[in-house]
Amino acid sequence: MATMACALLLSTTPAAAQAPLAPFPSDSALEVMLKQLVDRRGVTGVVVGLLDEGGARRVIAQGSPGADARPIDGESVFEIGSITKVFTGILLADMVRRGEVELADSVADLLPPQVRVPTRNRKAITLLDLTTHFSGLPLLPANLAPANRTNPFADYTVDQLYESISRYELPRDPGDAFEYSDLAVGLLGHALSLRAGTTYEALVSDRILRRLGMTHTAVTSTPWMKDHLVPGHNLLGQAVANWDFPTLPGMGGLRSTMNDMLAFAAANLSREETDLTLAMRESHRGLRQVRAGAAYPGMPSALRQARVGFNWLSSRPGERRITWTVGLTGGYSTFLALDIEARRAVVVLTNTGMNNVDYLAFHLLDPTVPLPGAPDLQRPPG
């Protein structure tokens, strides 16, 4: 999704000792911060989840859920957009651990023989290239022409996906450069599901969601999820359509709740050594260095580098290293950030699209990352 690439805030701060941990703000202080976000930043409603180093969880919400919707809380359902990509990355890490695929495998080997996956200078696109956004594939399929632009992926078919891949000519060799690509990760999720002999939704449910008790996270909403859905809004506060991903769910198709996302964050920080937690640990590993300055020339020079792993990004926006992922859809902005060393996490879910909330999560994990200057947002005492 084009909306997701804009939140790649990447840090060039050199490796250094981690800054001391600062406590999370009190509930009352965080409520003030969130009220400022709602009043001054065009966010309709927001819920923040905090997971501290002792495993305690807190959920704080502010703002409106929208017309005729339940109040926002830990059980409210949001589109999480490209946060879905790290689930796809964990599936890849898990399948590598099981010996079902290798990172060096060509994605062409996982697809039907009639699909012509582009190569360049005899270099094939590998699964590693797809999960690190080094494939050379574009942000979106060239043949994406939605009948309904408010739900842009709802009528995109597998045949169209294969046609788009088969006709594309790579502008650079696979592995040469970072270029954020929804198409690449959507293709990865599709290819992994073919190798597993199932659908993406069944694969992510069987290998991640059910094992973590994430009963209210899915591509296809259950009746309970539909009843608890928080409608999405644009920056004008107008309700907008939800997005559906029948062909490319691995790039952004999951919906979830704060309580489920905190369970997911806790599993990523767990000291247990199960097949799943080991795959999660592997997915955090920075596989390639990102230099996004050329792609995002408006970014400050101090915010142009990170390492990318299995769709996670790792950077130092302040004085602590943060592993993170972002999701933006037409009506939702979401963010998940982990301080792996401290075993703390912050999740931010909003029902407003195109409103980056990354700075808030970074600041809560590391107060040396500033909030936007006054009078927009300030951190109150507490």
* Digit-coded pLDDT (tens) for 154-173: 999 999 999 999 999 999 99
3-state secondary structure of 376: coil
Is the predicted pLDDT of residue 257 greater than 90, yes or no? Answer: yes
pLDDT-based confidence at 42, cuts 50/70/90?
confident
3-state secondary structure of 267: helix
Q: Name the least confident of 40-49, 67-76, 123-132, 328-337.
A: 40-49
pLDDT of residue 339: 97
Q: Mean pLDDT, to the nearest integer, of 20-39?
A: 91
Provide the whole-model pTM.
0.92
Q: HSE of 208 in the Cβ direction (CA atoms, 13 Å)?
A: 31
Is the predicted pLDDT of residue 374 greater than 80, yes or no? Answer: no
pLDDT of residue 379: 53
Distance CA 287, CA 283 (A): 9
Closest-CA residue to 268 (of 282, 283, 280, 284): 280
Burial degree of 315 (CB within 10 A; 0-12, 13-18, 19+):
buried
Domains and CATH numbers, the chain: 2-365 (3.40.710.10)
Angle at 94 between CA 154 and CA 128, to 5 degrees: 70
Distance CA 177, CA 127 (A): 15
CB 250 within 8 A of CB 188: yes
Distance CA 118, CA 104 (A): 16
Q: Name the least confident of 148-157, 206-215, 372-381.
A: 372-381
Q: What percent of the chain has pLDDT over 70?
A: 88
